[in-house]
Amino acid sequence: MTNRVHLITLGVQDMKVSRAYYESMGWVASPISMDEITFFQSGQQVLGLYLQATLDHDTGLSGGKPGGVTLATNTQSRGEVEALMKQAQEAGATVLKQPIEMPWGGYVGYIADPDGHPWEFSYVEQLVPNEDGALILPDSL
């Protein structure tokens, strides 16, 4: 089998709050979502919101603290990065870092969602999604 991330699960404290945030960001909850889990189709994979206490029970971990994993939406332009930052703030996100030009050439901002999960909104000329929304790595930079 091919290695693949099929599902990303984010632990949440209050499903109503977190689902509302993602819906404000334009994500559409799948009809198979339930009280304790929300599924969003994300291209060919799935983004899930799951109650943190249940996730802790499943993994056997507890006391997770955001910062070790980031999710990124790559955009077509600097303007889109700024629009996403604004949209996220209005939806209840916390700004971690306003977009800046990175030394390696990207334009990158960070926010934290209502549960503190960091998201990166970026414009990187060599890493722009194609017309299908797919991010395919180039052979060289």
118 sits in which H/E element: strand 118-123
Angle (CA) 109-107-73 rounded to 5° is 60
The token duo for 110 is 């960070």
Minimum gap (Å) between residue 132 Cβ and a copy of itself: 7
For the chain, give the longest Cα–Cα distance: 45
Return the residue of 14, 16, 44, 89 that touches a copy of itself, per CB under 8 A.
Answer: 44
- Kindly identify the residues of this chain, within the stretch 50-69, that bind a copy of itself according to CB under 8 A: 52, 55-56, 58-69
- The interface with a copy of itself within residues 60-119 (CB under 8 A) comprises 60-76, 80, 96-97, 108, 110, 112, 115-118
Cβ–Cβ contacts within 10 Å for residue 139, how many?
A: 4
Closer by beta carbon to a copy of itself, 125 or else 140: 140
Stretch 6-25 residues interacting with a copy of itself (CB under 8 A): 6-11, 25
Does 46 bind a copy of itself (CB under 8 A)? Our answer is yes
At 71, the amino acid letter reads L
